[in-house]
Amino acid sequence: MKKILQFVVLPLAIIGLGYAIWSSIQEPVQFKKNREMREKVGIERLKDIRTLQVAFKSKYGRFTPSIDSLIDFYRNGEITVIRQVGSWDDSAAVAEKRVYRDSIKIAVKDTLLKGTNFIPDSLKTIPFSGGQPVEMQAVVKKVSGVDVPLFEASMPFNLLLKGLNRQLIINLNAERNDTNRYPGLKVGSVDAPNNNAGNWE
């Protein structure tokens, strides 16, 4: 019995303890790796939303709180592009009226997010969340007496990191809250103008 304890149980206990220690070290490393991969996908999606929001505002003078409106704008909308023919520095061309500006309408889908394997409907959901919607708001706020359109789109870590180590997500959220930072990814702000910056920038 003593030999069984010495040659079987004890080595198994040591191996088990070693694995537990190794696993406890590896868990945060794996979490960080998965978090960075998921954040990269989330950031690209928020950048696409920002690109469309800025174009939407240039046409309508406001942002939209609706992802569906952004998708429709991408599929069916047009933006006006000003192009210049000739150079204003060429005095002869200016005198002969061969220098002018012209506005042309171009389909949004032929101008924005080309060559990026962009799937419009993907804007609706937070990646890796099981289909949870991206949180988006748009407001018009008085700033120094002037009406300023603002928007924000966000992906909380609780949804973006769904399925990863729950305690490490709680720790990450607590660290963000303790430093007055949004616990997730966010672009723009409805609280104050921030030039539509992302909180990862």
The model's pLDDT over 22-69, given as tens digits with 9 standing for 90+, comes to 555 678 899 999 999 999 999 999 999 999 999 999 999 999 999 999
Report the percent of the chain where pLDDT is more than 70: 82
How many domains is the chain built from?
1
Kindly state whether residue 193 falls inside one of the protein's structural domains.
Answer: no
Assigned domain for 170 exists: yes
The reported pLDDT for the residue numbered 113 is 87
Closest to 187 in 3D by CA, of 29, 15, 63, 25? 63
In a domain, 145, yes or no: yes
Does residue 8 lie in a domain region?
Answer: yes
Residue 84 resides in a domain: no
Segment among 62-66, 71-75, 108-112 with least mean pLDDT: 108-112
In a domain, 106, yes or no: no
95: confidence class by pLDDT, cuts 50, 70, 90:
confident
197 within domain boundaries: no
Structural domain that includes position 159: 2-67+119-188
Q: What is the mean pLDDT of the chain?
A: 87
Within a domain: 42: yes
Tell me the residue length of the chain: 201
pLDDT on residue 130: 94
In the chain, the DSSP E strands lie at 78-85, 100-107, 135-143, 146-156, 184-188
